Structure 1
Amino acid sequence: MHRKPDWEARLAAYLDPLRLRAFAWGRHDCCTFAAGAVEAMTGVDPMPEFRGHYTTARGSVRALRRIGRGTLAATLDAKFESVEPSLAQRGDIIMSSGLLGICFGAFLIAVGREGEREGLIRIDRPVWVEPRAWRVQYGS
């Protein structure tokens, strides 16, 4: 799976309607959000086996054990090339404090809450906690 030449426009079109969409396990959580972003950029859903298989936090853990590689990080390691978080580029997948998002250079975009507002949030790079990163490949 490789980014399409117009991946930036595709990613922007994917993000726009999600800006104020509330978190929902299995429909709009960190895993489905990041997978949707990758699908927008590449045309390939990297996590189709998880869709429709959980609706709670406990269900997501069970799905990772049953369908994935046991943890979200191990599942991503099996699907993407791991990169040093300091080398993450726009469009790469980032995990900070166990939360998945998409790198936007100096920050990541993720599903979350800021005050009373739910939707997409921005987490600045200097405050990423125990970050991990995975490359979404460019076209050959």
Structure 2
Amino acid sequence: MMQRLPDWETRLADYLEPLRLRPFAWGDHDCCTFAAGAVAAMTGIDPMPEFRGRYSTAIGSARALRRFGAGDLPSTMDAKFETIPAPLAQRGDIVMSSGLLGVCMGPYLAAVGSEGAREGLIKIERRAWVAPLAWRVGF
């Protein structure tokens, strides 16, 4: 069972820092690999190793979810983590908003995306989450 390490907050901050300006890339730096990397940083365990290096396009991502996951991203997350009500998500939990997977940072969701011409990590304020789903990363 994945449990956060005692210094998980420092580990998460260290993971996020070099990614702030890294552009989206299917299979390398997309919402799934980003969230899995955050969990690995916090727990020392990669929850999605079967997906690494398996796709490089949107179609490939969907195929990988069918082949290695539970058919789609929410179902795959349900199989790997405890589902929680999104309003109860805490720092370090995984949240999906509008189909985009990211890491709850308390008042906002950190996710891979773009704001204007800047690509990298974006903040989605909690009040702007759309049809959110959430999963607990254990303590």
The question of a shared fold, defined as TM-score above 0.5 by the shorter chain, is answered with: yes
Alignment deviations for residues 107-138 of structure 1 (CA, whole Å, 9 cap, x no partner): 00000000000000000001100000000000
Structure 1: 5+ residue stretches without partners: none
Residue 109 of structure 1: aligned partner: 110
Structure 2 residue matching 1:119: 3-state secondary structure: strand
Alignment deviations for residues 56-100 of structure 1 (CA, whole Å, 9 cap, x no partner): 000000000111000000000000000000000000000000000
**1:52 to partner: Cα distance:** 0.4
Residue 25 of structure 1: aligned partner: 26
Structure 2: 5+ residue stretches without partners: none
Separation in structure 1 between the aligned mates of residue 91 and residue 117 of structure 2, nearest angstrom: 28
Structure 1 residue matching 2:33: 3-state secondary structure: helix
What aligned pairs does 1:119-130 form with structure 2 within 5 A after superposition?
119-130=120-131
Q: Give the aligned length.
A: 138
Separation in structure 2 between the aligned mates of residue 134 and residue 9 of structure 1, nearest angstrom: 21
Tell whether 2:75 aligns with 1:93: no
Structure 2 residue matching 1:111: 3-state secondary structure: strand
1:73 is aligned with what amino acid? P
Question: What TM-score comes out, normalization by structure 1 length?
Answer: 0.98
What aligned pairs does 1:63-102 form with structure 2 within 5 A after superposition?
63-102=64-103
Residue 12 of structure 1: aligned partner: 13
Alignment deviations for residues 24-59 of structure 1 (CA, whole Å, 9 cap, x no partner): 000000000000000000000000000000000000
1:101 is aligned with what amino acid? G
Residue 59 of structure 2: aligned partner: 58
Question: What TM-score comes out, normalization by structure 2 length?
Answer: 0.99
Separation in structure 2 between the aligned mates of residue 30 and residue 107 of structure 1, nearest angstrom: 15
Separation in structure 2 between the aligned mates of residue 28 and residue 104 of structure 1, nearest angstrom: 19
Structure 2 residue matching 1:113: 3-state secondary structure: strand
Separation in structure 2 between the aligned mates of residue 17 and residue 33 of structure 1, nearest angstrom: 12
